Amino acid sequence: MAVSLPWLVNRRRLFLAGLLDAVIITVLFVITHWWRFGVLPGFQLPMTWLLELWVVLSYVVGRYTPPPSAAPFAPLAALGGTGIVTVLTGLLYLGYNWFVQKALGQLDTRSFLLPLLLWIALASYGAQVLFTRLLVARGQKTLRWLVLGSAALVEQLQLNSRLRPTQVALALDAPAGNSIDVFEACDGVVIDDVSRLTAEHKQALLEAMAGGLPVLSSSAWCETFLQRLPPSLISEDDLFHGQFVLANQGFQVRLKRLGDAVVSALLLVLTSPFVLLAGLLIWLQDRGPVFYSQCRTGLGGEPFRIWKLRTMRIDAEGRGAQWVQKRDPRITPLGRLLRLTRIDELPQLVAVLLGQMSLIGPRPERPEFDHQLEAEIPYYRLRYWIRPGLSGWAQVNYPYGASVDDARNKLSFDLFYLRHCSFWLDLLILLKTMRLVFNARGALPQG
């Protein structure tokens, strides 16, 4: 699997915000160390953990994706988020050092760590507010992309853009008449079918490309700006020309499997108290079974069985398999809490440990729904070319799905992951999953 990073295009602001915090923490650590001990510090491994904790927690809490400046209480919300990150960073850092070292070093004392965290919090809050205001003051540039194709293609790309707003404003237009001067006034070109271009248009387009004008296919444009690949834009040529070839062996595949086994075993041990407590509460609720199992479709279309904590009434599927609906009356009050916190999903770690699932990958669907979806959605079974996961690119980018249309939209994200799966994309999905769990989002239907 080659490393492909088109998802970086719309995350420049995120990386700049994290880099800004990293610089602030490094500078303040040097200043605080010199003020407290009278000497400049050398490399300190514990401080790298502090920096990483701060940046990761800031992303999870949402400090790097603040609400719109026009939103009420936006500055107060940003201050609250900074306070939460400060407290969590301090507690996790001290807890880790206590677990590893059993004793606090000179960098962990109150006279050093507390002033450092206080200065980091104040400086980071001020810097992030100024950074956001600077971006707002600069405004958002609208990129005008010219679509050389049918009106139906323009409409389809515009629809997909509305379904997933980007951090770059986009204008999609078809050229008026046969003028070739339009290439000079656009920021990029989307081509539907090169064979339909006139010789004059091809020559003008080649000259514009030589001058740096980006030219993309409709599918590549969606991948670059929307981080999804609508199945309607896939052709048989894409399949047979190696656009979806996955390596079944190789270092990255073995590394992912090793990581799945180690992390799932560790999580099973660490989260077992929560599972036991939840199981007791479920039993006390209605004296019914604690777990329930379902058949799901796995790698290569092979069925396997998953186990989850029961979140619905005992007779929830007396009428057969059903989509979960908004405010579904079958979900118990306790079940709603377990779904929001994802605790009900923890028993599936056993399937990850056994190799039936991965931590990251397309969510496995029930065979009862698969047959319907495969009949209505083109290339649906491509999602089973890779091992299904507990969380995936679709889960962190699209609301909880409960219809064929939702399944079609989520498939576009699964296909994107299939084309670009890598360690770095898996890491991004892991961080986005942590943010969803922290904010209790994405576990229930929204509409």
Whether residue 241 is contained in a domain is answered as: no
**Backbone φ and ψ of 237, nearest 5°:** -60, -40
CB 305 within 8 Å of CB 387? no
**pLDDT of 380-401, one tens digit each?**
988 888 899 999 999 898 887 7
Same domain, 336 and 197: no
Q: What is the pTM assigned to this prediction?
A: 0.81
Same domain, 100 and 180: no
Q: Report how far residue 29's alpha carbon sits from residue 43's, in angstroms, rounded to the nearest whole number.
A: 11
**pLDDT of 149-160, one tens digit each?**
777 777 778 777
Of 382, 419, 15, 433, give the one whose Cα is nearest residue 228: 419
Mean pLDDT of 256-281: 92
Same domain, 128 and 155: no
Same domain, 29 and 110: yes
**C-alpha atoms less than 13 angstroms from C-alpha of 153 in its C-beta half-sphere:** 19
Same domain, 355 and 218: no
Whether residue 232 is contained in a domain is answered as: no
How many domains is the chain partitioned into structurally? 3
Same domain, 15 and 133: yes
Position 3 scores a pLDDT of: 43
Number of H helices, E strands in the chain: 15, 8
Tokens of 242: 């190696």
| Inter-axis angle of helices 12-37 and 110-138, nearest 10 | 150
For 93, 105, 361, 363, 433, the CA distances from 268, given in Å and listed in that order, are 23, 32, 19, 20, 18
| CATH number of 166's domain | 3.40.50.2300
- β-strands 291-297, 303-309: how paired? antiparallel
Domain of 380 in residue numbering reads as 251-438
Position 226 scores a pLDDT of: 84
Q: Report how far residue 333's alpha carbon sits from residue 160's, in angstroms, rounded to the nearest whole number.
A: 35
Of 35-44, 119-128, 359-368, 413-422, the range with the lowest mean pLDDT is 35-44
